[in-house]
Amino acid sequence: MTLAFDIEARDPHSRARAGRITTAHGVIETPVFMPVGTRGSIKSLTPDEVRNHGAQIILGNTYHLYLQPGHELIARMGGLHHFMGWDGPILTDSGGFQVFSLVYGGIADEIKGRRPTQQVQPGMVKVTDDAVIFKSYIDGSMHVFTPERSIEIQKGIGADIILCFDELPPFHAGYDYTARSLERTHAWERRCLMFHRATQEGGLPFVPPNPYQALFGIVHGGVFPDLRRASAEYLRELPFDGLCIGGSLGENKQQMREVVDMTVPHMPDHLPRHLLGIGDVDDLIECVARGIDMFDCVSPTRLGRHGTALVRDAERRWKLNVANAALRDDPTPLDAWCDCYTCRRYSRAYIHHLFRAQELLGIRLVSLHNVAFLLKLMRTIRQSIIEGRFAHLRAEWLGI
């Protein structure tokens, strides 16, 4: 038994549920938001800080860690937990998202429905039914990912939850491409599962630092209801420990929520559900209502680096630009509701000054606040589900 999921409470007015995921490195109370540590660090923050502010699980990116410092070195250093000093649960993605963003010129933009800002560079990688060939973003060297290779790398990193390798078709690919891609992804997911099981007893070129890894499948199908349903129904028959919703989620927030709505009813109730890469305040609340248990997003640290603080203010779309001149002599904390280190100790005026003066501490304090803010939001959501107040919280936060 590598992972257990127990549902503790359900909201009577929506698909929201509160549960507990048990892993080899501890328990995760859901719904949960996981901060992203792309290269083995939650940007500018220590593991202790994010743990002390309530982080239960963090995400590492296989693509980046494979290229630098390399999964074999991480395995030799005792696995990512030991290497980076985080002893709680870790999830790694498969690397698929990143290698395909090379070919489609910024897949994050695609998936979130924004138009590409750069030309597609189809020569950069080659995709076959067997493998993806791509260039390193660091030095341009050529690399090959197969489903088996992705799992092998993730076994070297040693996360508690690992993901299947999948193809990320571009949003504007249309129905036929998406349907063909879905077949390929399903075949890859089967191969991941087989390789994962085949190497449970050994056979890798290194000693895996964590023998208790759970494998999640990823539901694809773009914005097409019949493909999403087919994918969920296909994957639920395979022995995955949980399922993600991946691939294109449409052009805007409304379409993303429709994709979740068309997919969740066909996913098994007894497995945790992870919506990949989503982290806006309203999306977290709305997707919990739609039955999602797990979220990850780089947004809190990315926003922090650019001086945007999350605040409990629907009219501002939950965002405050700390460089705004109105904050120059504002003695109040970034957010009155938040109880993070930044909000307990520093004024908006000081943080405004740090950003104007381009001091690194500013990035750090706002990144910590943003991570803590989302973690507290998720705890508050969870408690409201348990206490039967989720509908009230949803209306109160979203101002509806």
Active-site residue set: 93, 296
| 141 is annotated as contributing to ligand binding | no
Return residues touching its own copies (CB under 8 A). 39-46, 48, 64, 68-69, 73, 76-77, 83-85, 328-329, 331, 345-347, 349-350, 352-354, 356-357, 359-365
Cα–Cα distance for residue pair 95/84, rounded to 1 Å: 19
Find the shortest distance in angstroms from Cβ 352 to its own copies.
8
What are the backbone dihedrals phi and psi of residue 350, each rounded to the nearest 5 degrees, phi first? -70, -45
Find the shortest distance in angstroms from Cβ 347 to its own copies.
7
Q: Please check whether residue 394 is in contact with residue 370, taking contact to mean a CB–CB distance below 8 angstroms.
A: no
| 181 is annotated as contributing to ligand binding | no
Find the shortest distance in angstroms from Cβ 277 to its own copies.
21
**Would you say 281 or 327 has its CB closer to its own copies?**
327
E strands within the chain? 4-10, 17-23, 26-30, 32-35, 58-60, 90-92, 126-127, 132-135, 142-145, 161-163, 214-219, 242-245, 273-275, 294-297, 308-310, 319-321
Find the shortest distance in angstroms from Cβ 331 to its own copies.
7
Q: Please check whether residue 241 is in contact with residue 210, taking contact to mean a CB–CB distance below 8 angstroms.
A: no
| 166 is annotated as contributing to ligand binding | yes
Choose among 374, 349, 373: nearest CA to 362.
349
**Would you say 6 or 48 has its CB closer to its own copies?**
48
**Would you say 153 or 289 has its CB closer to its own copies?**
153
Residue matched to tokens 């209502």? 289
| 355 is annotated as contributing to ligand binding | no
Q: Please check whether residue 134 is in contact with residue 102, taking contact to mean a CB–CB distance below 8 angstroms.
A: yes
| 369 is annotated as contributing to ligand binding | yes
Find the shortest distance in angstroms from Cβ 32 to its own copies.
23
Choose among 376, 334, 377, 365: nearest CA to 44.
365
**Would you say 242 or 362 has its CB closer to its own copies?**
362
Tokens representing 154 are 């993730």
| 93 is annotated as contributing to ligand binding | yes
Feature table: binding site for substrate? 93-97, 166, 247
Feature table: binding site for Zn(2+)? 338, 340, 343, 369
Feature table: binding site? 93-97, 166, 247, 338, 340, 343, 369
